[in-house]
Amino acid sequence: MLRTVTFSDKRVADAVNSKFVAAWTNRGPGFVNTTFWAEQGIAERNYEIYPTKNICTFFLTPDRKVFYYAAGSYAPEVFLKILETASTLRKTLFDDRLAPKENGAALAKQLHEEKAEAYASLQEEAQQGENWRSLVKDIRPGNYRGLRHVHSASCAWSLKEGYDYLAALHREWSTRTSLPAFDDLRYQYLYGNEFTEESETSKHITKPEPTQAKPVAKSLRAIRVPAAASKDVYGTDLPGLRLFGQ
């Protein structure tokens, strides 16, 4: 859903193509979803932010170090803010040749702390469900496979859970003293809920130990779907900054 709804949005596509080299990898070879019940539920009820382990977008340096990521599916307007954060972190951490800046890590830590506070404030605002119309006024109702999302009070729940996750994510990043390697992080990253469509043949994501007392988004039911016979697809040999949608 992230690819078909978010990345197909022209604003998102232009931002990605102008600042990143996009690639993707499927961690569950052979997975085929023929019912689309999960996507239907997300599109109709929780389209704005759905923080789940089932998909994660990583922002990488050419040597496959992760300097930011965000798990889940996001409305284009929300994902544009994530792209803006990634772009700011890139400029904060590295020079034009992607060499680390001397004070980049300290400035990035400060940026993550500020983002954590900002998302925590948004989470508190979203928790007041009666204000849901003001929360979604800048987010366009989306369409997915003929399904039209209609904003409602459930959108406040979606945003509350999503902002809670993003606040926790930035708090977690603020504690890091070095950039993790993609291969070390890709199967153990902070995510909001337990939902997954990974197949039995997948190398499964494991829940990381919490770094903060404050919980992230609520756990939802997980499902595993039997794998079909097809090969995995990788796009890991592209130059420049890499953006992976898992």
- Average pLDDT of the residues in 183-191: 93
- Dist. CA 169–CA 163, nearest whole Å: 10
Percent of the chain clearing pLDDT 90 (strictly above): 48
- Dist. CA 132–CA 18, nearest whole Å: 33
Q: Which two tokens mark 122? A: 């948004």
For residue 28, count CB atoms less than 10 angstroms from its CB and return exposed for 0-12, middle for 13-18, buried for 19 or more. Answer: buried
Rg (CA), the chain: 17
- By C-alpha distance, which of 139, 196, 190 is closest to 164? 190
32 C-beta neighbours (distance < 10 Å), count: 13
Q: How would DSSP label each residue in 153-210?
A: THHHHHHHHHHHHHHHHHHHHHT-SSPPBHHHHTTS---SB-----BTTS----PPPP
For residue 57, list its beta bridge partners: 70, 245
Distances (CA, A) of 7 to 31, 162, 214, 216: 21, 19, 31, 25
20-64 residue pLDDT tens = 999 888 776 666 666 677 777 777 776 789 999 988 999 999 999
pLDDT band at 195 (very low <50, low <70, confident <90, very high): confident
Predicted pLDDT at 12: 93
61-111 residue pLDDT tens = 999 999 999 999 899 999 999 999 999 999 999 999 999 999 999 999 999
- Average pLDDT of the residues in 17-22: 91
For residue 144, give the H/E element and its range: strand 143-144
The rounded Cα 96 to chain-centroid distance in angstroms is 25
Residues 25, 28, 29, 35, Cα dihedral to 10°: -110
111-160 residue pLDDT tens = 999 999 999 999 999 998 788 889 999 998 877 777 888 888 888 999 99
User: pLDDT at residue 219 above 90?
Assistant: no
Q: Collapse the DSSP code of 68 into the 3-class scheme (helix H, G, I; strand E, B; otherwise coil) and give the result.
A: strand
